[in-house]
Amino acid sequence: MRKTLFTTLAGIGVITLLVLLPGGEVGSQTIREVFVVNFPPVQQVQGNVAIEDPVALSELVRIEDIIVPPVRPEDTTRLVEAGSIETEGFPNVVLSLHGIVKGSTQVKGTVGAILLPEETTIEQAFNELGMVHFALQVSATGVSSHTPYFASNQPRYTVGFRSYKILLYNTTDKTVTANLFAYLTN
């Protein structure tokens, strides 16, 4: 009886030991060799392939404290220019417009931003005939002195050009200070 008990306990001990021991290599801790397979001549890879810096997945561009007097969006020669936004490397952008009304307004209106592609023929059509082609737009409607602050919705666009010129308008009867935020994403 004692011999059977000892044999049974020894057997259970051996099985427990086998279950608890690691059973091989952990795949993530091994060094592996990688081979680059070249595609047709158009896509040849030569030399070392490396990513030196982290890849930017997003970027927030802020254009702040833009003074925008009353100007209608149709009056393209008077729109307020506020610089440009570089979008290269980012296929998407979310636009947000926020600001404050300077004084008491008598007329409700809209404050908006037009992002016009910085391309020669597109800018030429805009400058000569006031035509707005391929623009990205964001606007805050119902701006009044009821509350001095205003904010837009946040439209998301697919980016089609490397950079955009920023133009602002204001259909209220008072000057506003606007802030444009462009959240560029992959």
- Structure confidence by residue, pLDDT tens digits, 66-118: 999 999 999 999 999 999 999 999 999 999 999 999 888 888 999 999 999 99
The span from the CA of 126 to the CA of 134, in Å, is: 11
pLDDT 10s digits, 138-183: 999 999 888 889 999 999 999 999 999 999 999 999 999 999 999 9
Burial class (CB in 10 A: 0-12, 13-18, 19+), 81: exposed
Element (H, E) at 12: helix 2-20
Element (H, E) at 19: helix 2-20
| CB-based contact 178:71 (threshold 8 Å) | no
Q: Which CATH superfamily is domain 58-185 in?
A: icosahedral virus (2.60.120.660)
CA distances for 132 relative to 26, 83, 115, 125, 154, angstroms: 59, 17, 9, 8, 20
All structural domains of the chain with their residue ranges? 58-185
Looking at the DSSP assignment, which residues form a beta bridge with residue 168?
A: 80, 113
pTM of the model: 0.72
Burial class (CB in 10 A: 0-12, 13-18, 19+), 124: exposed
Hey, what amino acid is at 127? N
